[in-house]
Every structure is written in C-alpha cells, then in structure tokens.
Amino acid sequence: MTSPESISMNDLNAARFQSWPFDQNHCLTCAMCSSSCPVSGIDGFDPRKIIRMVSMGLEHPLIESRWPWICTMCGKCEHVCPSGVHIPDVIRNIRSLRDREKVPGILHKGLAAALKTGNNLGLPKDDFIFILEDVADEIAQEPGFEGFSVPIDKKDANILTTIHNKLVNTHTEDLKHWWKIFYAAEESWTIPSENWEGTNWGMFTGDDPAMKVMVGRIADNMARLDAKNLLWPE
C-alpha cells in the first residue's frame, strides 16, 4: 500500500476497533516502534501509522494493505513501546479481517489442507508412515544406532512429538536429529500416524477457530495414546 494523498472522511470510524484490548489508543506517536522495526519504510510501512489507523478506525485501508503481512510480528516494537501497545496482536487481528481467499501466498491454502487432511501437505497416512520408516532404516545403519526403529502410535509413551511438514517433504534428513537423541537417552516416545502436523498456520492468518481445531487434534492424540508429555518443536 502507498500512503494515500487524502483519506475519505467516510472511512473514519473511531468506534470501529474500540473493543480491541491492545491499548492502541494509548499510543504517544513517539515512533520508537518505527525506529525499532527492520521493515519500516517498505511501501511506507510504519507500525506507528498502523496503530494510528486502528485508532481512527480505517478498516478498509488496513485490511487491503500488505503492511500487516510484511511484518513478522517479531515484537521488537512492542518491547520498546513506552505505552505498552500490543502491536503484534493488532497486526494479527488486522490479518484476521482479510477475506480468506485473499490471504497472501500459500498460508490459507496450507491451513485449509491441514483442516481437511490433518497436515499442510495433504500427505496420506500410508505415505507418511513409509517416509518415517525409510528414514528410520537409514539411522539403523549408522554406527551406534543399530536396531533403531520409529515408534508410531505407541501407547503410554513419555513423549509424543509433532512433526513439521517440511521434514516429511523436502528435509527428511532433519527428522533424524531428535530421533537420535531419543535413542541415546533411551527415551520412551512416539509419533502419531494421523494429525501429526506441528505447524499451525492459523496463528499467522489470524484464524482462531482453525488454530483451535489443530491444537485440539494434538490434544486428542495425547489422550488417545495416553502420552505423558508433548514435544512440539514447531
């Protein structure tokens, strides 16, 4: 978004975001946030401007802007803010207002696939198990890891771990690190064969209902397998 030359008075609606509990109206316009932000200046992006626009209720310019999607919600702005404005929460809530079909990139598509199939890739259960066992066989051939196998759907494990989808897609080598540590520590652990997805893109798109579904599935896996602890490295 480029800064508009003028703003239509019809867009001003100071009541629009009054219910948001992020202290946005306490902004002092000091610009500490702007100075701290690594992407201030891209397309005129500036966290202070976003906070002012929220205070003024400029809903449509905010939703249509790509500013909230260039921000990584890293929280440096919030950390330096003397008024305690929760700027990353404001950003995430602006993201949540965008039409789902207009969420940029693959974020919403991946999330939709996860809601439908249990993981962002839409990877079928049999393929998932095949990949895990294939990687386990490779580990078992390394010195010191003789007899290694991957415990899928094991009941009563001490640790249940989720899996980042990229580790069963383009980065299968990176599955091995935790597995080797578990083997060395003689840990009792397991991976669920379904709903194993560790990423939760509803966090990024501002989709709370979807986030809740994804988290609920992990909780269901914990209960189904009577796992004691959850390792969720994503």
Partner 1 sequence: MFDLLTAYIREGRIHLDKTRFRDILATYHDPCNYGRKAERIFGHGFYDEPRWILSQCMENWVDVYPTRDSQYCCGGGGGALTTGYNAERIFYGRKKMDQIRATGASMVVVPCHSCHGQLNAIKAEYGMADLVVKYLWELVADCLIMNR
Which chain residues interact with partner 1 by CB under 8 A? Answer: 38-39, 42, 66, 69-76, 78-79, 88, 91, 104-107, 110, 143-145, 159, 164, 166, 174, 176-178, 180-181, 184-187, 199, 201, 203-205, 231-234
Closest approach of partner 1 to the CB of residue 14, in Å = 27
- Residue number with CB closer to partner 1 (18 or 149): 149
- Residue number with CB closer to partner 1 (56 or 213): 213
Closest approach of partner 1 to the CB of residue 42, in Å = 5
Q: Return the axis-axis angle of helices 87-96 and 47-55, rounded to nearest 10°.
A: 70
Sheet holding 159-161, edge to edge: 189-190, 159-161, 229-231
Closest approach of partner 1 to the CB of residue 72, in Å = 4
Closest approach of partner 1 to the CB of residue 46, in Å = 14
- Residue number with CB closer to partner 1 (24 or 205): 205
Q: Return the axis-axis angle of helices 208-224 and 107-117, rounded to nearest 10°.
A: 40
Q: Return the axis-axis angle of helices 176-185 and 125-140, rounded to nearest 10°.
A: 60
135: Cβ contacts below 8 Å, ≥ 6 apart: 150, 172, 175, 176, 179
